[in-house]
Structure 1
Amino acid sequence: MSHALIADLGGTNARFALVPINQYQPQEVSVYSCKEYESFFDAVSAYVEQCSVNFDSIDAIVLAIAGPVNQEVIRFSNNPWHFTRQQIQDHFGHDKKIALLNDFDAIGHSLEVIPQEELVQIGEPATVDPKAAAWVLGAGTGLGVACVVPQENGANIVLPGEGGHVDLATCNDQEDYILRFLRERHHRVSAERVLSGMGLENIYEALAHRQGIERRLSAPEIGAAIEAGNDQIADATLAQFFTFLGRVTGDLVLSVETRGGVYIAGGIVPRYLEHMKRSAFRDAMQDKGRMKAFVSPIPTFVVMSEFPGLMGCANYASYLVNQA
């Protein structure tokens, strides 16, 4: 049976898996800590040595990468690994089909194959136009964004970008304070500075500082405090996180009218799904003045699949092999 070797290479972890061609559920998933391997090649070699499929039966390799992939030397946004396309082809062999995708391009390719029960709609039910464009975004180590344009024949077009690095906009006094606080440190403040694991830490520190408290917690510590329910600043941090997420989502919809929906993945939002349901996310998304009626009909979903990036790689691998 023909297989694909697929990988979702993030800033913190590298997820490897196998999948039979024309199937989409990743098999033999292994998650490696990037910092424990000097290079991608060390990590993938360790995976191949322990997987059950003979390498000769692997016809395609699809890698989802946390960073731009249209560079001569591909570097990760939050990870010191780097390589060229030629190095990848040489490593795996010139008889293999190779594709390198941005990590959120991969999530974009997953929209066709994610089971409906793994999508949770946020806000009032709204109609999805399957022929219309969609946004995918998600916060984890960084903030990823991509736009998906459906195609009737062949793989959907996923328009890559670094939308997580757009300028952060604010709409009230608290948000102004957070922006000023972070500007003193970073000069230019991007959306990723508040919509990521680091972003939770930044929001917490800024809100504490506003109360005259010098304190910065790690993202896991903030999560523990939210779970314990004993830290009002942690609760306010998560609430502000979802408000910022709504603002950025609304800005994306103003840029491209995505009646195919907005799909939110990443490591943070699914973990706090119930908090998001109670948050001001949709209100902030729709808070676009006279353009509120334009933004409001756009449906938003949280992607609850454990490995959407790998599912997107599996989908793309099938296109690679089938078109050969």
Structure 2
Amino acid sequence: MSQYALVTDIGGTNARFALYDLTTNKLSAITKILISKNDVLLTLIKDYLASQSVTVKMACIAIACPIDSEDVINLTNNDLSFSRSELVRVLNLTKLEVINDFTAVSMSIPQLSKNELVKIEGGEPDLNYPIAIYGAGTGLGVSHLIKVNQRWVSLSGEGGHTELPMISDEEDRILAQLRKKFGRVSTERFLSGSGIVNIYQALLHINNKPIEEVTPDIIVNKALSNSCPLCLQTLTYFCTFMGRFGGNLALTLNTQGGVYIAGGIVPRFIEFFKASPFREAFERKGRMSYLVKKIPVYVITHEDPGLLGAGVYLQNSLK
């Protein structure tokens, strides 16, 4: 009989749940819900498990926040929190792993097939070197993979909260507008759903236009339809900044194993992304341009890499 574990991928906006078959390494019963202000994670999990016909004794909770040794975990981009010990007690678990959501995404990468990836130039990956993973969604997640004794090990971190350098006067003006709003401006303030809005509103101000409240989807759709010059400029800057940040990650650990882009935003406009200044910005690294030029970049198109990676992580922890 198959042995199932609960896996989750909890982000700033959506919560995903699935059953992971520990004998076949396959996902099933995938459920996605929009997180509301008063949601309680334990209740969401209990409701999900109540709808399933299997007994679960193990779980891996992948969640968008730093993970430390504290019992209570608090998300970065919403009000959700939970207690590890309460989950174990109430759900009667024999094993619980709690990991960063991009640790989970990173663990999925060796399992992905070529048709679940879109390559954005570069050469062939050298898997004797590290891999970098990042992705824009509600926030900006970052992780790395390194090979240790022929096994992939994920290096989790909070790279999305580093700063992003500006390299032109126009970019300096965008940063200046965000600095007025946030003080210290992290990369996530540019490379996320709200980051797209931040860039757009900064450009409105720079062009002496009234500030309007707008959603990222509206900006992206107007850019793709070429019906709004500032929306087009916004999305072009977003792709440029994604390239610059990705190149920085590539240099940090010399990730000739490849750079992988996850998150819910970029897969929505891959053709635009491929034609954008992304790759030029990725490779524009001065004396080190020759190094990053050969590093391949892939956009992950698998719908649930976080769930898959959470299952892989749990499976590895049992070995």
- Verify same fold: TM over 0.5: yes
What residue in structure 1 maps to residue 207 of structure 2? Answer: 211
Distance in 1 between residues matched to 2:69 and 2:183, nearest whole Å: 27
Q: 2:33, 2:250 → 1: CA distance?
A: 35
Structure 2 counterparts to residues 83-162 of structure 1, below 5 A: 83-94=82-93, 96-124=94-122, 126-152=123-149, 156-162=152-158
Q: Deviations over 1:52-73 (max 9, x none)?
A: 32x2xx2420111000111412
In 1, the alpha carbon distance for the partners of 2:24 and 2:259 equals 25
Pick from 163, 166, 169 the counterpart of residue 167 of structure 1: 163
Separation in 1, partners of 2:24, 2:223: 38
1:198-241 deviations in whole A, cap 9, x for unaligned? 00000111112111112332112212322433111111111100
Matched residue, 1:78: 77
Runs of 4+ in 1 over 4 A off after TM superposition: none
**Separation in 2 of the partners of 1:247 and 1:135?**
14
Residue identity opposite 2:279 in structure 1: R
Q: How far apart are 1:85 and its partner, in Å?
A: 2.4
Number of equivalent positions: 316
CA contact (8 A) 1:200 1:237 kept: yes
Kindly indicate whether the alpha-carbon contact (under 8 Å) linking 1:23 and 1:314 is maintained by their aligned counterparts in 2.
no
Q: Secondary structure at the match of 1:150?
A: strand
1:23 is matched with: 24
Identity of aligned residues (%): 37
**Superposed displacement of residue 92, structure 1:** 2.4
Mind listing any 5+ residue stretches in structure 1 that lack a counterpart? none
Are 2:3 and 2:23, in contact at CA under 8 Å, matched by a contact in 1? no
Tell me whether 1:191 sits opposite 2:192 in the alignment. Answer: no
Pick the aligned partner of 1:275 from 269, 272, 292: 272
Local SS of the residue matching 2:111:
coil
Q: Which amino acid aligns with 2:263?
A: G
Q: Give the 3-state SS of the residue equivalent to 1:41 in structure 2.
A: helix
Paired with 1:24 and 1:117, the residues of 2 have a C-alpha distance of 18
Structure 2 unaligned residues grouped into runs of 5+: none
Q: Equivalent residue of 2:126, what SS?
A: coil
- Spell out, residue by residue over 1:10-54, the C-alpha distance to the aligned partner (whole angstroms, 9 max, x if none): 11111001121143442111111211652101111111111232x
- Matched residue, 1:46: 47
Given the two structures, how large is their TM-score scaled by the length of structure 1?
0.93
Q: CA deviation at 1:277?
A: 0.4
217-226 vs 107-116, which deviates more? 217-226
- Call closer, same or farther: CA 1:226–1:22 in 2, change over 3 Å: farther
Instruction: Report which stretch shifted further, 247-256 or 191-200.
Output: 247-256
Structure 2 equivalent of residue 201 of structure 1: 197
Tell me if structure 2 keeps the 8 A contact 1:22–1:318.
no
